[in-house]
Amino acid sequence: MKPATFNKIKITTLFLLALSTFYFLPKIINAQTASGTSAIPPRLEITVKPDGTSSQVIKVRNESKEEQTIITEVKDFIVTDNIGTPVIIETNGDNNRWAASSWIQISPNNVKLKPGETKALTLTVMPPANALPGGHYAMVLHSPNGISSLSSTGASVKNQVGTLVYITIPGDINQDAKIESFEAPKFSEFGPIDFNSTIKNLSDIHIQPVGAINVKNWLGWKTAQINLNPENNNIFPYTTRDFNTTLNKKWLFGRYQATLQASYGSNNGLVNSTISFWVIPWRLLILIGVAIAIIVILILIKKKQPKNKRPTDEVAELEKELEDLKKKYKDQ
């Protein structure tokens, strides 16, 4: 096959591929958004006494362009990673210190929604008389009836959205926490500088640390204050959570000290940790040093060269030579 013919076939194939992608893409997007559902609010905090009752309103919205029947159920969850991801568990609530699904009722638990329609549901919490003080947790899940998707393994998975319910039973609640790690690069050439910290919750209730990292230079002067992210940083009981922050400054020099300090809980507990790090732009310093050395060498070379005689001295020498010539001619 001639190269020109091959190139024509290649260009035609690419054009048809691009055209088919453009044609089918809207259909794929529509299929993905057809089952869209929203849960309002995404998280709900409730305080209720043992053997008491608390009712709250939650909402579910049909974001799709088709009518949907929404089935609502309540599940227990735990957190096992360092970023706060809730994982649904299917266990008996009596065996789970933190479980609260058996305390919650949703009414109604089956609603039909038109496209764009929002409906309110009543969430009622009824803890038993022997409910332990501290945190208890559940997840209210909304599922479009009959709509599911395929997971990476090919299994059918329900499309669900939900509201995380954090329930606090008042009483003698243990509240404690510690900083498991606080790190930054020991040596850097330039900023920015990344800080990685991990806080562990040792309490019987979730906590939400509020604090900042204060950075000082080698003179003790404050260089920056970096706040911890105050949003979505709840730490589940007896789990850890990672916090990543950045000192967004490029030009730094010398030894720095960074102190992480955060408060948590209703008793305003405090945790802190201090580290030090160096920032030396060594390549820039070498470049400046070489430039200075070159300038010094040029100055020394200049000084060693003989000085040029002044014009007046040259005129005097010429006049002397003329006088000598005159005398010579006179003598002849």
pLDDT along the chain (332 residues), means of 10: 44 38 32 62 94 94 91 91 85 74 94 94 95 95 68 49 93 95 96 95 94 95 89 86 94 96 92 96 91 89 69 65 62 54
| Pair 193, 206: CB distance under 8 Å | no
Taking the C-alpha atoms of residue 327 and residue 332, their distance in angstroms, rounded to an integer, is 9
Q: How many residues are listed for the chain in this entry?
A: 332
Q: What is the pLDDT of residue 204?
A: 94
Q: Considering 280, 299, 314, which residue would you say is the last residue of a domain?
A: 280
Domain encompassing residue 45: 35-169
- 285 assigned to some structural domain: no
- One-letter amino acid identity for 83? I
pTM of the model: 0.72
Query: Smallest Cα–Cα separation from 45: which of 239, 171, 205, 240?
Result: 205
User: Where do the H-state alpha helices sit in the chain?
Assistant: 3-33, 282-304, 311-331
- One-letter amino acid identity for 211? G
- 23 assigned to some structural domain: no
Q: What is the pLDDT of residue 104?
A: 96
Q: What is the pLDDT of residue 298?
A: 86
Domain total of the chain: 3
The backbone torsions φ and ψ at residue 275, rounded to the nearest 5 degrees and listed phi first, read: -135, 165
Residues 50, 90 share a domain: yes
Q: What is the pLDDT of residue 230?
A: 63
Residues 193, 236 share a domain: yes
What is the arrangement of strands in the sheet containing 240-247, beginning at the earlier edge strand?
177-183, 193-201, 240-247
Tell me, what CATH number does 228's domain have?
Answer: 2.60.40.10
Q: What is the pLDDT of residue 7?
A: 45
- 49 assigned to some structural domain: yes
The backbone torsions φ and ψ at residue 242, rounded to the nearest 5 degrees and listed phi first, read: -90, 145
- 5 assigned to some structural domain: no
Residues 72, 143 share a domain: yes
